[in-house]
């Protein structure tokens, strides 16, 4: 009877304790590679933004053409996302990567 209760409770305990902790440890383990991926994607995104800006400028110079609203929204969103990513990369050095006081800095 006691074993039946334990058998029923143990999967729930694992779901609510061990898996979330393992997920958080995974974030710490992949911190550097995630930042490097962000840096690479940001570098690749810059030419795309420049190309879009040139195309929008070209459309703006034509007499009877207007830039679509969704294109302007994309440009604003792209600028905002770039600023947020750059801020995150800038703050990389100040990130607190220690868990409590007793854990070593794994990064």
Contacts of 74 (CB under 8 A, 6+ apart): 52
CB 107 within 8 A of CB 28: yes
The confidence score (pLDDT) of residue 73 equals 93
Contacts of 9 (CB under 8 A, 6+ apart): none
Higher pLDDT: 1 or 33? It is 33
**Paired tokens of 2:** 């006691």
* pTM as predicted: 0.61
* 27 vs 106: CA distance, rounded Å: 11
Residue spans of the domains in the chain: they are 2-94
pLDDT digits (tens, 9 = 90+) for 45-102: 999 999 999 988 888 888 777 888 898 899 999 999 999 999 988 877 655 555 555 5
């Amino acid at each position: 009877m006691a074993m039946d209760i334990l058998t029923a409770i143990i999967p729930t305990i694992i779901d609510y304790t061990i898996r979330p902790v393992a997920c958080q440890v995974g974030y710490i383990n992949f911190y550097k590679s995630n930042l490097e991926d962000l840096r690479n994607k940001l570098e690749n995104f810059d030419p795309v933004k420049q190309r879009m800006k040139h195309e929008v400028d070209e459309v703006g110079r034509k007499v009877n053409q207007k830039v679509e609203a969704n294109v302007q929204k994309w440009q604003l969103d792209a600028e905002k996302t770039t600023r947020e990513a750059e801020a995150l990369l800038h703050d990389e050095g100040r990130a607190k990567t220690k868990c409590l006081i007793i854990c070593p800095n794994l990064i």
